[in-house]
Amino acid sequence: MLSDWTLLVAAAFAAGVLNAIAGGGSFLTFPALVFTGLPPIMANATSAVAVSPGYLGSALGFRSELAALPRERLVREGLLCATGGVCGALLLLVTPAKVFSAAVPWLLLFATVLFAVGPRLVAARARRGAGDVHPVAQGLGLFLVAVYGGYFNGGLGILLMALYTLTGESRVHTANALKNLNSLVLSLLSVAAFAWAGAVAWPQALVMMVAATLGGFIGARLARRLPAAWVRTGVVLTGLAMTAAFLMRG
C-alpha cells in the first residue's frame, strides 16, 4: 500500500537525522516495519540494513572532526566494532530475541543516565587526579557495545556516546563523529551477516536506505551547527522517550 511505503520512507529519513544528532533511529524504522507487516526478527534485520547507509552520510558530515584524530585510533576502534557487530548479528540469528528485547528499555535507561551524568563523572575524575581509562577497559567496552549494536541496534548511538563520555572524550562533536563512524563499520558487517542468512526484506530495505542516507547527511550538518549543550540535551531526551516507548510496548 502507498501509505505503508510513505510511512517507511518518512521513518527512515527521520531515523537518519536522529542517528546523526543523538542516535536511536532504529526506534523509528523497526516499529514502522513491524506496523507494515514484517515479522519482528526480519523487521529488526531490515531496519539495520535501512539505517546503515545513514551512518555514512553522518560520518561524512563530521569529516573535519575525524581528520583531527589519530588514524591508529580510528583503525583500532573500527576493527573492534566490526568484530563486535558480526558477533551480535550471529547471536541474533541463533537465539530468541524475547529475553533481550525485555532488557532493552533498562539498557537504554542506564545508558541515558550514564550519558547525562557523564560530564560530572569526568570532572570528578579530573579533580581526583584520575588518569585516562585503561585502553583495554575502553576497548572491551567498545566491543560489548558493538555486540549490542549488531544484535539489536536500537539506542546504539546513545550507548556509544555514553561510552565516549565516560572514557574521557569531553568534545561532544568529536564523540558524535566517532559514534557515527563506528556505527557505520559495525552496521555494515552485521548487515552482511543478515543478508547471508536471508533475514532481510530487500524491497523495503533498499528504499529506506536512500531516505536514511539523506537524513543522515542533513542531520550531521544540523548537529555541527547546534550548541553542544543542545546536542547533549537532545540525546538525553531521546533516550528517555525511547525507554518509555519500549516500556509501554512491554
Q: Report the C-alpha gap between 162 and 156 in whole angstroms.
A: 10
At residue 96, the 3 state secondary structure works out as coil
Per-residue pLDDT tens digits for 179-238:
889 988 998 889 899 999 999 999 999 999 999 888 888 887 777 777 767 777 877 887
Residue with cell string 519482528: 40
Stretch 138-163: mean pLDDT, rounded?
A: 86
Residue 235 buriedness (CB in 10 A; 0-12 / 13-18 / 19+): buried
Q: pLDDT-derived band of residue 130, with 50, 70 and 90 as boundaries?
A: low
* pLDDT band of 127, cuts 50, 70, 90: low
Q: Annotate 193-232 with b (16+ C-beta within 10 A) or e (fewer).
A: bbeeeebbbeebbeebbbbbbbbbbbbbeebbeeeeeebb
Residue 184 vs residues 48, 113, 129, 156: alpha-carbon distances, Å: 10, 24, 35, 11
pLDDT at 72: 93
pLDDT above 70 as % of the chain? 90
Neighbours of 137 (CB within 10 A): 10
pLDDT number for residue 69: 92
- Indicate yes or no: pTM above 0.75: yes
Terminal Cα distance for the chain, rounded:
28
Q: Please state the rounded mean pLDDT for residues 131-154.
A: 85
Compute the CA torsion angle 130, 133, 135, 138 (nearest 10 deg). 180
Helices (H), 62-97: 63-67, 71-94
Q: What count of residues does the chain have? A: 250
Cα angle 194, 71, 235 (rounded to 5 degrees) comes to 60
